[in-house]
Chains A and B, each alone.
Chain A
Amino acid sequence: MSKVEEIAAAVENGKVKKVAGLVEEALAEGISATEILNVGMIGAMGVVGEKFKNNEIFVPEMLIAARAMKKGVEVLTPALKEAGSEPVGKLILGTVAGDLHDIGKNLVGMMIEGAGFNVIDLGVDVPADKFIECMKENPDCKIVALSALLTTTMPAIKNTIDAIVAAGLRDTVKIMIGGAPVTQAFADEVGADGYSEDAASAAELAKKLLAEVNG
């Protein structure tokens, strides 16, 4: 097994204590930081996401894999900066106004980070204005992800999208939505660009939307 494969296995299996050391060893062997990140970590998180979607693993295993990746990235960051490596993209995430639920939103954030994105998490009960303010502060951000767990707060997704349109920012971003009561039909109705039903699919969707933006 190559060192990068060892890193991938350690991330996949949530070996939090091992990953940092393996990354140091890989760098010492002269393996590029970009390869370690893309193959050893983002690739491993892709496998984790697939297993999660198929109910082969569950939330704790996904969380521990994300934690393992985070440990590895901490060691890798200086080398990535030195190599001029950038996150694949930037994404703004939040649970919409009136809704305090964060579990699904946090899992989505973790998996999207695992896919190589820089995620700006605005938290829960986020008013439309705050999303817009953050978009203005981050003009390089191409995706906004909105979450709602309640049927009663689903309208706040539409309100947020309407506010983004009214602010003249709709053409600058792709908008993805999710949450227990959210469906593709609802996404179509409120003018979102995409919907996903779980955290792993959300990471895939973010990559797909970014590819569309980047042409």
Chain B
Amino acid sequence: MDIQEELKVLDTLPGVTFVGHPAGAGPKYNTPLTPKENFRRFIKGEGYMWTPCSADFVTVMPQELADVVSRDFIFDKNVPENLIHAGGKDFFGIDWEYVPTAGGSMVRPGNPVLVEDVTEWKKTVKFPNFDEIDWEAIHERLKDVVEGDRVVVSWCFNGLFERLISFMEFENAALALIDEDEQDSVHELFSGLCDMYDQLFDKLHTYCNTDIIYFHDDWGSQRAPFFSRAVCEEMLVPYLKRVCESAHKRGMYIDFHSCGKIEALVPCMIEAGCDIWSGQPMNDRIMVLQNYGDKIKLNLAPPMRFAMPKNEEEAKELARKSQEDIDEFMGTYGPYMKSIVVSAMQAGNPKLYETVYTATREAFAS
């Protein structure tokens, strides 16, 4: 094993753009397995060689998807200026507003709601028809990015609870989860959403070569889950399970992005079949890794530093801080590298890749 040789850069792989900036273009290393194959083995827990990391992944989210534009998360080529920070209508015609201070989009509170009464959701909710999108054109545009050896990640906005919130605002959505007069309708609505996700996943799998669905559904605030584990098990897990099955039956995986202090709900994610959880730092991640690391992976990374150095001195300082971040990250999570994938969002950080690759390649070989 010659790690220096394996980390030799053979080529530069193509990328896309994200909010007007290059994203995803990165090195093709001389690894003994393709990143895609290593990732598949890693999730299965058999025969992997290193912890999947940053440059192993590439994110694509085509501009033709209304949800992607409205949430301002287009990872695509040839994105017109007027689609960046545009907000606009999602799959269901709900208007999202780009908020510069938040760096993202949200539904303005007080806007007319799509669903006044969840028991009558069928009167106003019309599911999108993904066949109306020119998927062949998407594939043609993105094929050099998605047909390579990297693991292709596609985000899925919005998840079940987030979608319910977008339909009827937070308080009504939260109440509907426990109100016995509304629960049957919520079940039915979630079931309809699962059919929609299944169709979307099929398109992403077929035309974007997607390996990971980054499924976005926030379950908590900074201090606690929004709902109890019992409510989660009754109202969300059966449908998240269907989401996972939709991915798994096509050979894809679910990275469940869920914000908030929700470590108590990790068993629900496992029960549903999520492969990876992308959570926030306020969770006790070490506890999760120790107790559940054999059942679910955590998507983690050192903090991202966005600063653009103006001169050589600043560049050196940034590099020093970035290395400190990486060292701290490895110091904390090094022992758990069999249960971690390192964020696709850090694809442009070669030092991180080299550090994780070297440490885990050596550790796993022995």
Q: Interface residues, chain A, CB within 8 Å of chain B? A: 14, 55, 57-61, 63-64, 67, 98-104, 106, 123-124, 150, 152-153, 180, 197-198
Assuming the A-B contacts A67-B175, A124-B109, are A55 and B224 also in contact, with contact meaning beta carbons closer than 8 angstroms in the complex? yes
Whether B8 sits at the interface, judged by CB under 8 Å, is no
Whether B286 sits at the interface, judged by CB under 8 Å, is no
Inter-subunit contact B175/A180 (CB<8 Å): no
7 contacts between A and B (CB under 8 A): A58-B225, A59-B174, A60-B178, A61-B228, A64-B178, A123-B109, A123-B110
Given contacts A14-B178, A100-B102, A152-B103, 5 further A-B contacts (CB under 8 A): A60-B178, A61-B178, A98-B99, A100-B108, A150-B102
Taken together as a complex, chains A and B put the C-alpha atoms of A57 and B108 apart, in Å, by 28
Assuming the A-B contacts A123-B109, A150-B102, A180-B222, are A106 and B175 also in contact, with contact meaning beta carbons closer than 8 angstroms in the complex? no
Inter-subunit contact A60/B175 (CB<8 Å): yes
Assuming the A-B contacts A106-B171, A150-B102, A152-B101, are A60 and B227 also in contact, with contact meaning beta carbons closer than 8 angstroms in the complex? yes
Assuming the A-B contacts A58-B226, A59-B227, are A100 and B109 also in contact, with contact meaning beta carbons closer than 8 angstroms in the complex? yes
The secondary-structure label for the interface of chain B is: loop
* 10 nearest A-B residue pairs (beta carbon): A152-B101, A102-B109, A60-B178, A180-B222, A60-B174, A103-B170, A98-B101, A59-B226, A59-B174, A58-B227
Q: Interface residues, chain B, CB within 8 Å of chain A? A: 97, 99, 101-103, 106, 108-110, 170-171, 174-175, 177-179, 221-228, 231
Instruction: Name which residue of chain B comes closest to A152, CB basis.
Output: B101
Taken together as a complex, chains A and B put the C-alpha atoms of A153 and B101 apart, in Å, by 7
Chain B residues positioned under 8 Å from A152 (CB to CB): 101-103
CB distance from A70 to the nearest CB of B (A): 12
Inter-subunit contact B174/A63 (CB<8 Å): yes
CB distance from B245 to the nearest CB of A (A): 27
Taken together as a complex, chains A and B put the C-alpha atoms of A50 and B170 apart, in Å, by 22
Identify which of A60, A99, A101, A103 contacts B231 (C-beta below 8 A). Answer: A60
Inter-subunit contact A99/B101 (CB<8 Å): yes
Inter-subunit contact B221/A104 (CB<8 Å): yes
Inter-subunit contact B225/A100 (CB<8 Å): no
Taken together as a complex, chains A and B put the C-alpha atoms of A99 and B132 apart, in Å, by 36
Taken together as a complex, chains A and B put the C-alpha atoms of A124 and B110 apart, in Å, by 9
Chain B residues positioned under 8 Å from A180 (CB to CB): 221-222
Taken together as a complex, chains A and B put the C-alpha atoms of A14 and B231 apart, in Å, by 15
Inter-subunit contact A58/B109 (CB<8 Å): no
Taken together as a complex, chains A and B put the C-alpha atoms of A103 and B166 apart, in Å, by 13
Chain A residues positioned under 8 Å from B221 (CB to CB): 103-104, 180
Chain B residues positioned under 8 Å from A150 (CB to CB): 101-102
Chain A residues positioned under 8 Å from B177 (CB to CB): 60
CB distance from A2 to the nearest CB of B (A): 27
Instruction: Name which residue of chain B comes closest to A180, CB basis.
Output: B222
Inter-subunit contact A57/B228 (CB<8 Å): yes
Chain B residues positioned under 8 Å from A103 (CB to CB): 170-171, 221
Inter-subunit contact B175/A63 (CB<8 Å): yes
CB distance from A183 to the nearest CB of B (A): 11
Taken together as a complex, chains A and B put the C-alpha atoms of A14 and B179 apart, in Å, by 10
